[in-house]
Structure 1
């Protein structure tokens, strides 16, 4: 339905977007928590892009220690983009999931394990049949410690993938950009539509992040 360039747009090519945020859901469909809730004291946040954000969000809301999840667009150029605009490839944005979690229950390294094992990070601007820059693999970090952990995990998992016959990891690791909420119907989509399609899939290669041998 939409053109899907295989490269990021320049600022001159990018769609203009809009000043005001697009409407979205007020509350999380499963927990009932407000989606714009501030990060509670003691909790932390993370942003991941790993293909279709419907399935990615489900992976994280099912993870013990995750308090709140929401889907949106990030790491591009266009302010307050819509889904249709993002699908053109002319916003530069990635489909991402913002995760608020309790580090006393689930570590950032454990979230990285969910990330690496939940998709194929060697595919570039695609995941399976979903093709476009909005499906690229990305980790967007909020602290130096997150950035260090993400880069270390990329190196370690890259070795595991290479041993299994996969190519180089294409995952971008960047400081957390502005997060723009996706539309209401995208939030917790697979809870509302259990039979919905989502093209993400892992490699079957286990990620040792967070396990004792990974720290040795």
Structure 2
């Protein structure tokens, strides 16, 4: 799939090879238009590049129409390339959990189908541990907040190594869609406005607590945590934050 050489907002390369200090993660939380915008807006210069695409499926090089058929096994996902010295995977995961409803199975809001399921794809053991621990922590918070309502998280957590290629780029018109002139202001993600607990409460180990300490403060989340439709209405450039 051909995509533009440069990110429409960040002006960084859309495809690798990436600088040696960068890490990659793939996250799927429903409609990928709004999901991508939420990730590229994270502050501090830690997000090097984002791209939308199709992940965790079996068919090579799927098109949007093929993905929507439900027969390729893919979900709409965002590839995030980040600098761990400037932003932690824990910050990215907090945005992921808080920016959608991870209990909806094959759906997000008005969008239904396997391509809208919630998923995390890990590339190494540390990512897997953080993803699984954050899932357990967020599920506990949802149960406490929703008081008996459905709070079981359906997000699948899978290894990139389980697939011939874990992420395929989507068509260029989908890339950074919400920032482009004439874009339809739409995102089906359903933020529940329930916070992921502090990392100290769910870090898998003292070593990972030290290595992946969040870079974004609680003050940031009090002001900028995902809210319904906030991505659609927000500016396109990254959030300015001390």
Shorter-chain TM range is 0.7 to 0.9
Q: CA deviation at 1:84?
A: 0.8
- Closer/same/farther in 2, CA of residues 209 and 131 from structure 1, 3 Å limit: farther
CA–CA separation in structure 1 for the residues paired with 2:158 and 2:64: 22
Is 1:200 aligned to 2:196, yes or no?
A: no
Change (3 A) 1:78 1:174: same
Question: What is the RMSD of the two structures over their aligned residues, measured on CA atoms?
Answer: 1.5
The answer to whether the 8 A contact 1:112-1:209 is kept is no
Question: Aligned match of 1:173 in 157, 164, 189?
Answer: 157
Q: How many pairs does the alignment contain?
A: 194
Counterpart CA distance in 1 for 2:8 and 2:20 is: 23
- Indicate whether 1:185 and 2:173 are aligned: yes
Q: Which deviates more from structure 2 when the two are superposed, residues 200-209 or residues 151-160? A: 200-209
Q: Partners in 1 of 2:144 and 2:114 — Cα distance?
A: 27
Residues 194, 23 of structure 1: alpha-carbon distance in 2 compared, 3 angstrom cutoff: closer
The structure with more helix, counted as a fraction of residues: 2
SS at match of 2:179: helix
Q: Is the 8 A contact 2:133 2:202 kept in 1?
A: no
Aligned counterparts, 1:125-204, within 5 A: 125-165=106-146, 166-176=150-160, 177=163, 178=165, 179-192=167-180, 193=182, 195-204=184-193
The question of whether the paired residues in 2 share the 8 Å contact of 1:110 and 1:209 is answered with: no
Paired residues of 1:70 and 1:99 also in contact (CA < 8 A):
yes
TM-score, structure 1 as length reference: 0.85
Q: Give the match's secondary structure for 1:68.
A: strand
2:98 equivalent in structure 1: 117
Quote how far apart the aligned CAs of 1:201 are: 2.1
1:209 Cα deviation from its structure 2 partner: 4.5
